[in-house]
Amino acid sequence: MYQATLSRRSYRFNDLRQLLAKASPARSGDYLAEVAADSAEERMAARIALADVPLKTFLQQLLVPYEHDEVTRLIVDSHDALAFAPISHLTVGDFRDWLLSEQADSAMLARVAAGITPEMAAAVSKLMRNQDLILVAKKCRVITRFRNTLGLPGRLSVRLQPNHPTDSLQGIAASMLDGLLYGCGDAVVGINPASDSLPLLEKLNYMLDDVIQRFAIPTQSCVLTHVTNTLRLMERGVPVDLVFQSIAGTEAANQGFGINLALLAEAQQAALNLNRGTLGNNVMYFETGQGSCLSSNAHHGVDQQTCEARAYAVARHFSPLLINTVVGFIGPEYLYDGKQIIRAGLEDHFCGKLLGLPLGCDVCYTNHAEADQDDMDTLLTLLATAGLTFLIGVPGADDIMLNYQSTSFHDALYIRELLGLKHAPEFADWLTKMQITDERGQLRDTAANHPLLLALQGERR
């Protein structure tokens, strides 16, 4: 039992799960799940009580039963007590103060990351203002490598997302060319296929590999199909760079995705065996999003932001090259408007970085949400200030296959110019060599006889 008194009224919370849910900032998904605070006063009382909870409590009182959930078992069994030692004496409120202090610099945050559980990260985020989430995330440094180096300070990468509603190879190639000529694609060239046809998925992988190899682009490709499809492609000798999968924060939700930890481990090993990376062996790419556990009725009464943080434990176990929250994609049933999407994006980025993950974000919304592109401009600017690893680049910010609004190649230009952010270093050198950018990293005018343009014309013929 946890309690706090506010305005001469005593508020009681039955257990840690209820306390975390009531302390969470208001969002539609938690109201839908009937776990949210009934009033702003109850929410503040929950935060007051949460601030006094020792961090050690999260190792003793589990939100989802150990015997029923492999994600819980992963969190408990992989907890690093030595990394936890420097902060083990703190309460959640003390942890917030420590994170904001000069003592918690980048090196110290890296040392304690393996000792922080997702529930600890989610709990402290509930006590933080947006500026706190930004400031702490900015101090976290997470660097990964495959064919280039991602996550370095002062750098921001872009996933080039050339989706097409009929998986037209020519249409995908045109969008891919467009993105490359805008300097996008250093995080990954990643296609969401409209079809699960194995022969088509094979063609997409070969096309991406051909472009990357032909022009010696220091980046990686990924066709974002189900992990079982990717395993079958690798068995057939198809050139797969990264293994993709959507993941969630409970075993039951992951079962809804058709996956478990053993399957992810099998796919990771298969990708490692291909040995296609030149600079590193981070071969996994994950996507998450608040509301996925609730949408499959697999949240166990846990609030959606804490469930999201638990998904990061799954990702952390597999040392991904990339992971991003598709923050506004699930819809207004879970994040109702621009304010809720902005807050969720900052929470996700903070929790992921605190846990040692290369967190990116699909700064996005669906057309039936109470949000617009101005809200996305705000979230993009805040996340980039907070040290975002990568964002999404879609032609015109309008994904014509997935039918949602994201960020464009032009948005990447805006945020680079505003904050002086550079590409991944190897990719930056390639852009200069290909005369796409000048020595300062500024875009050049592209001549009609540019090799990439000529290659596309050849593909069309």
pLDDT in tens, the chain (461 residues): 899 998 889 999 999 999 999 999 999 999 999 999 999 999 999 999 999 999 999 999 999 999 999 999 999 999 999 999 999 999 999 999 999 999 999 999 999 999 999 999 999 999 999 999 999 999 999 999 999 999 999 999 999 999 999 999 999 999 999 999 999 999 999 999 999 999 999 999 999 999 999 999 999 999 999 999 999 999 999 999 999 999 999 999 999 999 999 999 999 999 999 999 999 999 999 999 999 999 999 999 999 999 999 999 999 999 999 999 999 999 999 999 999 999 999 999 999 999 999 999 999 999 999 999 999 999 999 999 999 999 999 999 999 999 999 999 999 999 999 999 999 999 999 999 999 999 888 898 876 678 888 876 665 55
Q: Which class for 180: exposed (0-12), middle (13-18), buried (19 or more C-beta within 10 A)?
A: buried
pTM, to two decimals: 0.96
Quick one: CA dihedral 278, 280, 286, 289, positive or negative? negative
Token match 């980048």: residue? 106
C-beta neighbour count of 259 within 10 angstroms: 21
Q: Which class for 274: exposed (0-12), middle (13-18), buried (19 or more C-beta within 10 A)?
A: middle
